[in-house]
Amino acid sequence: MVSLRIEGLRKTFRDVVALEDISLELAESEYVVILGPTGAGKTTLLKTIAGLTKQDRGHIYFDGEHVDHLPPFDRGVAYLPQNYSLFGHLTVWDNIAFGPTVQDWEPRRRDQVVREMLNLVHLSDRRGAFPRELSGGMQQRVALARALATHARLLLLDEPLRALDARLRMELRQELRTLAKYLGITTLHVTHDQEEAISIADRIAVLRRGKVVQVGPPREVYEAHRDPFVANFVGEANFLEGVLEKAGPANSVVVLETQQSAIGQPTDLPPGSRALLGVKTDRCEIRPSHFEEENSFPGIIVRSLFLGKRISVEVKTDVGLLKAKVPSDHVSLASEGREVTLRFQPNYAVVYPVPAGGLRSVLEVE
């Protein structure tokens, strides 16, 4: 298998900057997910690595070797696009055999590999079927088998589960990771679905407007978010704005416009700075209206949505509309119109500087 290093990658389309100074490394056999909203540059990044798009600046290395000059078919990359691109007039067998046939493999070797791929994706009994006769999940597995049949060193997956229903996505995302790990193939998987990314990645790289804004293990990206966009895109967050009154080694105190105080994690910001305090909605809880403790904000529930294991509530408070995702057994407390207190623990609240363009501009997705 192969390690991948990207250095300073930039790509523009006329006046649109698709990639801006992208640098990223993948270890051998690592499964990395590129997560970002539509228009973030995710597909452009994959196509550039595959050699289907030429970057304006920067370099790509496989195992430390420069590959910018190599055409797509010499890079040893398996690229699975969003629409699978199966040949409708070819059977499952012939779709998988297409790459080795074009590369003029010896027939015995080609047939052996195709049989291995069919077994791997559990489609040996559908070898003679045409794509139109297969379910969406089966088509996805055929496309994956075809991509892997050439013994590529690097697997690039572009929203591979996008066209599938929710239940099938949950099943196949684990199959994808299991298969990649079994083969030991280095994988770069693009998605806009944060739950998908968290569940399968060794590491996540969050992409926004052509730039990598954070890279790390799923738990780190989810909980130790470096800016408000990551906090709100990988999950959902509440934000409180005010002036930093105290920035000690144990915690920080932000005084809001209502003169209420909110306590969060330590910060390097100097006292007197404008600051945002961000906390995940699933780290917030609701208590009876008479409850009083630090980081407690009384209000009225204006919306309550049952989500299965959790209930999403919106609470109108003096500091604005705050959200919480609470366990479903809180149903009696989470009814619309009820007076409650929303609270969170200080160690779950991250303090950021107020963005120059304001909070709204930072949270926008394309």
Element (H, E) at 198: helix 194-200
Distance of alpha carbon 323 from alpha carbon 98, whole angstroms: 51
Q: HSE of 81 in the Cβ direction (CA atoms, 13 Å)?
A: 8
Helix (H), strand (E) at residue 231: helix 228-233
pLDDT in tens, 234-249: 989 999 999 999 888 8
Enter the tokens of residue 8. Answer: 């300073």
Query: Are 248 and 133 part of one and the same domain?
Result: no
Residue 42 in domain: yes
Per-residue pLDDT at 139: 87
Q: Which residue has the higher pLDDT, 9 or 184?
A: 9
- Position 117 confidence tier, pLDDT thresholds 50, 70, 90: confident
State the pLDDT confidence band at 81, using cuts at 50, 70 and 90. confident
Rounded-to-integer distance, Cα 138 and Cα 122, Å? 9
Asked, for residue 57, whether it belongs to a domain, the answer is: yes
> How far apart, in whole angstroms, are the C-alpha atoms of residue 187 and residue 3?
10
Cα distance between residue 269 and residue 253, in whole Å: 11
Q: What share of the chain is helix, strand, coil (3-state, %, to 5)?
A: 30, 35, 35
Are residues 203 and 325 both part of a single domain? Answer: no
Reading the block at residue 357, the tokens are 């363009």
Q: Which residue has the tokens 């229903």?
A: 165
142 and 160 share one domain: yes
What's the pLDDT tens digit per position in 326-356?
Answer: 998 877 788 899 999 999 999 999 999 988 8
Same domain, 79 and 127: yes
By DSSP bridging, strand 252-256 and strand 274-280 are unpaired
Is pLDDT above 70 for 100? Answer: yes
Amino acid present at 55: Q
Residue 77 has pLDDT above 80, yes or no: yes
Residue 230 is assigned to a structural domain of this protein: no
Same domain, 60 and 164: yes
Q: How far is CA 249 from the centre of its chain?
A: 32
Which tokens go with 349? 């609240």
- The answer to whether residue 323 scores a pLDDT higher than 70 is yes
Identify the CA nearest to 100 among candidates 59, 35, 146, 64: 146
* Cβ proximity of 317 and 359 under 8 Å: no
- Residue 184's pLDDT band, with cuts at 50, 70 and 90, is confident
pLDDT at 279: 95
Are the CB atoms for 33 and 189 separated by under 8 Å?
A: yes
CATH number of residue 274's parent domain: 2.40.50
Query: Is pLDDT of 177 > 90?
Result: no
- pLDDT band of residue 366 (cuts 50, 70, 90) is low
Report yes or no on 82 lying in a domain: yes
Q: Which of 223, 251, 271 is the last residue of a domain?
A: 223
| pLDDT for residue 262 is more than 90 | yes
Q: Is the domain of 308 the same as that of 208?
A: no
Distance CA 8, CA 18 (A): 13
Q: pLDDT tens digit string along 286-303?
A: 988 777 788 999 999 999
Q: Which of 135-144, 213-222, 311-320 has the lowest mean pLDDT?
A: 135-144
Pseudo-torsion of CA 88, 50, 28, 153, nearest 10°?
Answer: 50
Q: Which residues of 170-181 are buried (b: 16+ CB within 10 A; e: fewer)?
A: eebbebbbebbe
190 in the same domain as 274: no
Tally of structural domains, the chain: 3
pLDDT value, residue 330: 77
In a domain, 229, yes or no: no
Mean pLDDT of all residues in 37-44: 92
Q: What count of residues does the chain have?
A: 366
Residue-number span of the structural domain to which 95 is assigned: 4-223
Examine the pLDDT at 163 and tell me if it is beyond 70: no
Identify whether residues 120 and 255 lie together within a single domain. no
> Is residue 231 a part of any domain in this protein?
no
Nearest to 315 by CA among 328, 329, 297: 297
User: How would residue 165 be classed by pLDDT, with cut points 50, 70 and 90?
Assistant: confident
Asked, for residue 74, whether it belongs to a domain, the answer is yes
**Single-letter amino acid code for the residue at 94:** D
Beta bridge partners of 59: 7
Q: Which of 196, 223, 250 is the last residue of a domain?
A: 223
For position 339, which CATH number holds?
A: 2.40.50.140
314 near 303, Cβ under 8 Å?
yes
Min mean pLDDT across 40-49, 288-297, 302-311, 315-324 is at 288-297
Residue 332's pLDDT is 79
How far apart CA 186 and CA 51 sit, in angstroms, is: 17
| pLDDT reported for residue 333 | 85
Q: Are residues 268 and 299 in the same domain?
A: no
The mean of the pLDDT values for the chain is 90
What percent of the chain has pLDDT above 70?
A: 99
CA–CA separation, 271 and 60 (whole Å)? 43
CATH of the domain at 216: 3.40.50.300
Q: Are residues 291 and 166 in the same domain?
A: no
Residues 290, 276 within the same domain: no
| pLDDT-based confidence at residue 219 (cuts at 50, 70, 90) | very high
Whether residues 363 and 326 fall in one domain: no
